[in-house]
Amino acid sequence: MPVVPLRKLILSAAIAAVLPIAAQAAPAQPNDFIEVFAKIFGEHKGIRKGHAKGVCAVGNFTASPEATARFDAALFSGTAIPVSYRFSLAGGNPAAPDYARSPRGLAAQFTLPDGSKHNIATLTTPVFGAKDPESFLGLLQASVPRADGKPDLAKIQAFRAANPDTQPQAQWLAANPPPWSYATAEYFGLHTFYLADKSGEKVKIRWHLQPKDGVKGLSATELEQQNANFLDDRLKQRLADGAVEFDWIISFGEAADSENDPSVQWPARPTLNAGTLRINASGDAGCGNINFDPNVLSRGFSASDDPVLRMRSPAYAISFGKRLSGQ
Ligand code: HEM
């Protein structure tokens, strides 16, 4: 039997001890997310790797006179701007049940009069599930099912305990029923952005979309019925009675408010109603080939350094490229 020198043994043990920590500390890469989504949700060719289940819709946006007066932003000129929307369920499962206690999404692509685009892609939770890409990736990796196909709940719990930033979204989802309809949920932008005002100053903002139909969740009975596909029909039925509208509510941040952590909600701040998002019809295929990359911003808006926001562009681009080429 070969004799291993003691010094070498101690060295290998030390390397083995630090390796898992070093692996976790490595910066998350965009493709890591695409790979881990496939491990959790399976491979679904030609389909979005996140928010796989959803429905397209169309309508427009008109800024409020207050927003037009205060901001130097192309989106807030006050003219009606056509919008392509997509409502969705979070996760990479195209057959996710509509009663799932997971975030819903609302994405919108505005086409400005000069042809330029502005995208938003929002969630129904007032906080995101992690403070940065590494923490989000760690949570996803802990959520990969075991060999028997079941989630390793102890592993997920241990990860959440060691990473408290992953707890508030889960707590919110446990405490609030999923939306009764796509039209009866608030949708949060979550990241911090900057918006130019008329004096040339860049104002620190966050925002959410407030449904004019009011906020309404599924009742306990409806949750028990476990109807897997009602959201698209309910939206169509609602649209038969006229447009669905959301107010775009902007909050003005103070110096202490987080600029780069979407897992932390700002305290209540002064707000401005920036205008009305209007949805006129749903169920067309118009949003199929849209990448709602939230860093595509029109004149007047700029992105913060939030690392989660920064990670979204390359991750969405990979998902977009794959699904367009049938992967
Ligand atoms: C590092 C963090 C994130 C990653 C890796 C990620 C990843 C993805 C991917 C791969 C897609 C599919 C894109 C496509 O094929 O077009 C997607 C869609 C989406 N994500 Fe994220 N996401 C992240 C954070 C967020 C956050 C913070 C929000 C909300 C503020 C959000 C909201 C959405 C919505 C609404 C969609 C659906 C867009 C559509 O309908 O096409 N995501 N995400």
Q: Is position 5 within any domain?
A: no
Residue 243 CA to ligand 1 centre (angstroms): 26
Would the pLDDT of 173 be above 70? Answer: yes
107 or 8, higher pLDDT: 107
Would the pLDDT of 133 be above 70? Answer: yes
Would the pLDDT of 10 be above 90? Answer: no
User: According to the model, what pLDDT value does residue 24 have?
Assistant: 54
Q: Tell me the average pLDDT across 167-188.
A: 98
Task: Report residue 203 as tokens.
Answer: 């104002």
Q: How many domains does the chain have?
A: 1
d(CA 263, CA 129): 6
Tokens 């977009």 sit at which residue? Answer: 320
pTM of the model: 0.93
Task: Report residue 140 as tokens.
Answer: 């996803």
How many residues appear in the chain? 327
Is residue 37 within 8 A of residue 140, CB to CB? The reply is yes
Is residue 290 within 8 A of residue 84, CB to CB? The reply is yes
Would the pLDDT of 6 be above 50? Answer: no
d(CA 147, CA 65): 57
User: According to the model, what pLDDT value does residue 8 have?
Assistant: 45
Task: Supply the CATH number for residue 209's domain.
Answer: 2.40.180.10
Q: Tell me the average pLDDT across 71-100.
A: 98
Task: Report residue 148 as tokens.
Answer: 């028997």
Residue 108 CA to ligand 1 centre (angstroms): 12
Q: Is position 118 within any domain?
A: yes
Is residue 303 within 8 A of residue 205, CB to CB? The reply is no
d(CA 67, CA 49): 35
Q: Is position 277 within any domain?
A: yes
Residue 49 near ligand 1, beta carbon < 6 Å: yes
Residue 317 CA to ligand 1 centre (angstroms): 10
Q: Is position 13 within any domain?
A: no
26 or 2, higher pLDDT: 26
Residue 187 CA to ligand 1 centre (angstroms): 14
When pLDDT is cut at 50, 70 and 90, the band that residue 25 belongs to is low
What does the mean pLDDT of the chain come to? 94
Task: Report residue 213 as tokens.
Answer: 């139909």
Q: Is position 21 within any domain?
A: no
Tokens 């707590």 sit at which residue? Answer: 171
Q: Is position 76 within any domain?
A: yes
Would the pLDDT of 186 be above 60? Answer: yes
- Angle of helix 30-41 relative to helix 307-324, nearest 10 degrees, comes to 60
Say if residue 259 is exposed, middle or buried (CB neighbours under 10 Å; 0-12, 13-18, 19+): middle
User: According to the model, what pLDDT value does residue 327 have?
Assistant: 98
Q: Tell me the average pLDDT across 21-34.
A: 79
d(CA 208, CA 190): 8
Domain of residue 277 covers 30-324
Task: Report residue 232 as tokens.
Answer: 């698209």
Q: Is position 22 within any domain?
A: no
Q: Is position 128 within any domain?
A: yes
Residues designated as active site: 51
Q: What is the pLDDT of residues 195-245, one digit of tens each?
A: 999 999 999 999 999 999 999 999 999 999 999 999 999 999 999 999 999
Q: Tell me the average pLDDT across 125-142.
A: 98
Report how far apart, in Å, the C-alpha atoms of 30 and of each of 133, 313, 316 are. 9, 9, 8
d(CA 290, CA 32): 22
Closest C-alpha residue for ligand 1 atom 3: 312
Residue from 36, 39, 41, 48 to probe ligand 1 pocket by mutation (most atoms less than 8 Å from CB): 48
User: According to the model, what pLDDT value does residue 167 have?
Assistant: 98
Residue from 49, 51, 102, 109 to probe ligand 1 pocket by mutation (most atoms less than 8 Å from CB): 51
Q: Are strands 193-196 and 187-188 parallel, antiparallel or unpaired?
A: unpaired
d(CA 106, CA 185): 10
